[in-house]
Amino acid sequence: MNNYRFERTARLNRQKALYATILFHLLLIGGLAYTASGASLEKILPAKVKEVLGMEQPAQATAPNRDLPRP
Predicted pLDDT at 41: 72
The one-letter amino acid at 59? A
Q: pTM, whole model, 2 decimals? A: 0.53
What does each C-alpha distance from 58 to 17, 32, 42, 68 come to in angstroms? 39, 30, 15, 21
Most distant CA atoms of the chain, gap in Å: 83
In the predicted model, residues of the chain with pLDDT beneath 70 are 1, 56-65, 68
What does each C-alpha distance from 14 to 10, 17, 20 come to in angstroms? 6, 5, 10
Domain residue spans in the chain? 4-59
